[in-house]
Amino acid sequence: MSLKIMVYIKSLQSGPAAVSLSVTLECSYARGRPSCCEQAHAKMAVEEDIFGTFFDEETKTDVLVKRFTLKNSNNVSVQIITYGATITTINIPDKNGTLADVNLGFDDMNGYLLSTNPYFGAVVGRVANRIKGARFSIKGQQHNVAANRGENHLHGGIKGFDKKIWAANVEGSKVTFSYLSKDGEEGYPGDLLVNATYSLSEDNELVLEMKATCTKPTPVNLTNHAYFNLAGHNEGAKEIYEHELMLSADSYTPAVDAIPTGEIVPVKGTPFDLQTPKLLKNAIPETPENGYDNNFCVIQKNSDNGLNLVGRALHPKSGRVMEVFTNQPGVQLYTANFVPQDDSLPGKGGCFYKKHGAFCLETQNYPNAVNQANFPNSVLLPGHAYIHTALYKFSVQK
């Protein structure tokens, strides 16, 4: 038995340049056997289970944390939980087909609840990165937000989106996490409804699309704070130093105490010039702080899909490659400088995560953009939508 689909496409042009195309797609299957379409759907289906529970001190109730697993036919899998819409696992084969989890995280909720959890894999907001002085003005009205990093505001405040339980909905091969941030939460004006949709393609592309709408003008700058080590999450700084990293960024925003000065400076001739691939063991020692924690300005090329290349990381020994694309103007490169050097941060499988044991490529607007008139606008207005896409493409180089 077979199913035939006729597709007829006619060009919108007229005259000699007009093109007409007809395509026949045929999908055959034997009785009792799944069709090729059904097989593909089965491979891409989202699995759901329970990751754990925790006691919420605010509501005085036990909270259930769900986990969702995305898989494709290339043996790639990604797991995300409802706590913080957090990526907990990214399993990727190397050039020999050997799997490794390249995403730092924890085995259970006890780890994610640690006060020392450095935002592993979470969606952070309402505003990722810093807001100077924990305050900003919109239309002449000053708003004070939570000061949780000295006198400044970091990653959404004391209890940002990374510490919230998100609702989840599976549709086909995608899972969407939703959270309603109420007016006044962490000091932000207006309700903000956020959706974060994860999907995994047969081309090994992990796509995160974040959308938000609001009821009052409010700054919005979401990101995912995944920590990567393409050698394996537990391989530490030794293997991070062997990564080759390239960033498609011709300028950066200098900062003092992690707050941008407002300048946008060319990277050429500085330790921040990563436009050609550099080994991190050579690049990191050249930086003023012995590590990167800097916002880079992504080169805008007006691609057809609206996404620009952010960067490319290669771990030569395993052959694993990760390319990142986004529609955002900036990316924060962070090389885990503030992860402790001792055994105080236990990770998955009994390992300990330490300084320089991972890198982050946090697609974003520029830090403190709400207070810098020359930075890209970060204020979302009612009736408008915030749309942020981050695409992580995994492959191997033999």
- Higher-pLDDT residue of 214 and 5 is 214
Contacts 24+ apart (CB under 8 A), 119-122: 119/155, 119/162, 119/225, 120/86, 120/225, 120/226, 120/227, 121/84, 121/86, 121/87, 121/88, 121/224, 121/225, 121/226, 121/227, 122/84, 122/85, 122/86, 122/87, 122/161, 122/162, 122/224, 122/225
Q: What percent of the chain is modeled with pLDDT above 70? A: 89
**Catalytic position from the list 225, 315, 356, 388:** 225
* Residues 156 and 225 reside in one and the same domain: yes
Average the pLDDT over each of 18-32, 41-55, 119-133, 145-159 and give the range with the smallest value: 18-32
pLDDT at 4 over 60: no
What pLDDT shows up at residue 143? Answer: 98
Dump strand ranges (E) for 39-93.
Answer: 47-56, 61-71, 77-81, 86-93
Residue list for the binding site for beta-D-galactose: 129-130, 225-227, 293
* Phi, psi dihedrals of residue 74, rounded to the nearest 5°: -95, 10
226 and 172 in a common domain: yes
**Same domain membership, residue 334 and residue 387:** yes
Phi, psi of 338 (to 5 degrees): -100, 5
Is residue 36's pLDDT more than 80?
no
- Could you read off the pLDDT of 181-209 as tens digits, one per residue? 999 999 999 999 999 999 999 999 999 99
Q: Which domain holds residue 245?
A: 47-396
Q: Are residues 63 and 150 in the same domain?
A: yes
Taking the whole predicted model, whether its pTM rises above 0.85 is answered as yes
**Domain with 391 in it: what CATH number?**
2.70.98.10
pLDDT in tens, 89-118: 999 999 999 999 999 999 999 999 999 999
Average pLDDT of the chain? 91
Q: What is the DSSP letter of 74?
A: T
pLDDT digits (tens, 9 = 90+) for 273-318: 999 999 999 999 999 999 999 999 999 997 888 999 999 999 999 9
Q: Which residue has the higher pLDDT, 379 or 57?
A: 379
**Does 362 qualify as catalytic in the annotation?**
yes
Together in a domain, 362 and 378 = yes
Same domain, 244 and 375: yes
Same domain, 211 and 152: yes
For residue 12, pLDDT beyond 70: no
For residue 144, what pLDDT is reported?
A: 98
Q: Are residues 102 and 21 in the same domain?
A: no
Cα–Cα nearest to 318, from 231, 190, 212, 385: 231
Pair (120, 16) in one structural domain: no
Residue 8 has pLDDT above 80, yes or no: no
Task: Give the model confidence (pLDDT) of 246-265 as tens digits.
Answer: 999 999 999 999 999 999 99
Question: 180 or 24: whose pLDDT is higher?
Answer: 180
Euclidean distance between CA atoms 128 and 376, whole angstroms: 14
